[in-house]
Amino acid sequence: MALPALMEELVEEILLRIPPDEPAHLFRAALVCKDWCRIISDGGFCRRYRRFHRTPPLLGYIIKEYRTSLKFVPTTTFSPPPLPATKSLEAVDCRHGRVLMTDIHGDPPGFIVWDLVTGNGPRRINIPAYHPHEDLCTFTGAVLCARHGCDHLDCRDGPFVVVFVGSYDDDGADNDDVYTLASVYSSETGAWSAPTPSVNYELRFCESCLLIGDALYVSLFSSRIEILKYDLGGHGLSVIDAPLMRGLASVPMEIDGGLGLVEYDHGCIYTWSRQADGGWVRHNVAELQTIYIPRHNKFGMIRFAQETNTVLFSLDDYIDQGVFALDLNSRQVTKVGETRAWHTLPCMSFYTPDLAKGKLSSPQ
């Protein structure tokens, strides 16, 4: 017997409020009865569910360890469809359900765009051929929704753009000849834009881009900390001088909607916020020795996870001790991976029945 209309509306309102941070809970609710299964499996309900919660949950991390293929480390019961197994792939971006990977050793080098939840793809996009591929030092990128006015809650099948930022070396030896440029690929046209004018700087290897407003930021390899800014609207590059730091590791981050830096120095984590006049202000965030990490450990900054406001870092004290995440809000540290990683990418996405292609294990 079907539910009365009023009762069905009440049930739907209750089901909408199931927290998305553990996808299995919504799927288990669908097993209660046929009416609940029908409601939860409906595409309209799933769209309402995503709009109701708005912020997608963290499903896990894609981790790259030394000389291995990418692997997914879940933080929920979700397990995605198999990742591409090529060892040369690096995962550099995850946005709106799409994962962007680089393949610098491909022939030619290129990007892979892959849907984390549905497994659709992988779609290969070769990097632009404006310069000889043999001169390529390193490259990174970002994948962005291209649908005008999109709320990014239901756009995984829509148009997208891939931003390419690459460094080239004219002679392969002299760093003074290294230059960096950017270009944008459109999934609608299948073509790359004209490149930006280049700047005489080199990207750090396997860096991820940070999106703030209409600009992307990425660290540069130089004698001091400098940040490359790519203006999405103006299609131009500029270089921002970072403050002088005592610490050995730093990565760009977002602070109150603006550009910042996170720094590790003698057992402490600090953040720097950039002011309107271009100056920088330093803030003390956490002393790792008091909350988790012994001072003598060798510390390696991996990246700032913008979506979760966490700092990802690795430890190496004679043996690999793993990858950790420091929540800048709660100052809590959690272990993400068992061994040291070259790169760790947080993956946030809704996993609802209309998208179900991955696997769910039983929640604890």
Task: Using the predicted structure, report yes or no on whether residue 341 has a pLDDT greater than 70.
Answer: no
Task: Using the predicted structure, report yes or no on whether residue 358 has a pLDDT greater than 60.
Answer: no
Task: Using the predicted structure, report yes or no on whether residue 212 has a pLDDT greater than 90.
Answer: yes
CA–CA dist 91, 165 (Å, integer)? 15
Q: Between 312 and 19, whose confidence is greater?
A: 19
CA–CA dist 102, 167 (Å, integer)? 14
pLDDT at 187: 95
Task: Using the predicted structure, report yes or no on whether residue 362 has a pLDDT greater than 60.
Answer: no
Nearest to 360 by CA among 105, 135, 90, 79: 79
What's the chain's average pLDDT?
84
The pLDDT confidence band at residue 243, using thresholds 50, 70 and 90, is confident
* pLDDT per residue as tens digits for the range 117-173: 888 878 999 999 888 888 888 999 999 998 888 888 878 888 999 999 999 987 655
Task: Using the predicted structure, report yes or no on whether residue 293 has a pLDDT greater than 80.
Answer: no
Q: Which two tokens stand for residue 35?
A: 């009416």
Angle ∠(137,138,143) on CA atoms, nearest 5 = 150
Share of the chain above pLDDT 90, in %: 34
Q: Which two tokens stand for residue 288?
A: 């790792």
Task: Using the predicted structure, report yes or no on whether residue 359 has a pLDDT greater than 70.
Answer: no
Task: Using the predicted structure, report yes or no on whether residue 238 has a pLDDT greater than 80.
Answer: yes
DSSP letters, 328-354, are: TTT--EEEEESS--SEEEEEE----GG
pLDDT, mean of residues 267-282: 87
Question: Any idea which of 87-96, 320-329, 345-354 has the lowest mean pLDDT?
Answer: 320-329
- For residue 128, which phi and psi values (nearest 5 degrees)? -60, 150
Q: Which two tokens stand for residue 27?
A: 């799927």
CA–CA dist 165, 221 (Å, integer)? 14
Q: Which two tokens stand for residue 328?
A: 């800048």
CA distances from 297 to 49, 187, 240, 313, 337 (A): 44, 45, 31, 12, 17
DSSP letters, 298-317, are: -EEEEEEETTTTEEEEEEEE
pLDDT at 197: 95
pLDDT, mean of residues 190-205: 92
Nearest to 322 by CA among 298, 304, 346: 298
pLDDT at 12: 93
CA-based radius of gyration for the chain? 22
Task: Using the predicted structure, report yes or no on whether residue 232 has a pLDDT greater than 90.
Answer: yes
Task: Using the predicted structure, report yes or no on whether residue 264 has a pLDDT greater than 70.
Answer: yes
Share of the chain above pLDDT 70, in %: 84
- For residue 77, which phi and psi values (nearest 5 degrees)? -80, -5
Q: Which two tokens stand for residue 241?
A: 């001088």
DSSP state at residue 199: B
The pLDDT confidence band at residue 318, using thresholds 50, 70 and 90, is very low
The pLDDT confidence band at residue 319, using thresholds 50, 70 and 90, is very low
DSSP letters, 50-61, are: HHHH-SPPEEEE
CA distances from 229 to 58, 157, 171, 274, 297 (A): 27, 28, 25, 14, 33
Question: Any idea which of 77-81, 82-86, 249-253 has the lowest mean pLDDT?
Answer: 249-253
pLDDT at 127: 95
The pLDDT confidence band at residue 316, using thresholds 50, 70 and 90, is low
As to burial, measured by CB atoms within 10 angstroms (0-12 exposed, 13-18 middle, 19+ buried), residue 290 is exposed
CA distances from 308 to 35, 56, 313, 329 (A): 35, 10, 14, 9
Task: Using the predicted structure, report yes or no on whether residue 43 has a pLDDT greater than 90.
Answer: no
pLDDT at 339: 64
Place of tokens 């090529």: 86
CA–CA dist 357, 362 (Å, integer)? 16
The pLDDT confidence band at residue 52, using thresholds 50, 70 and 90, is very high
Q: Between 301 and 262, whose confidence is greater?
A: 262
pTM of the model: 0.88
Task: Using the predicted structure, report yes or no on whether residue 247 has a pLDDT greater than 80.
Answer: no
**Contact assessment for residue 193 and residue 182, using Cβ atoms and an 8 Å cutoff:** no
- For residue 43, which phi and psi values (nearest 5 degrees)? -60, -35
pLDDT at 154: 77
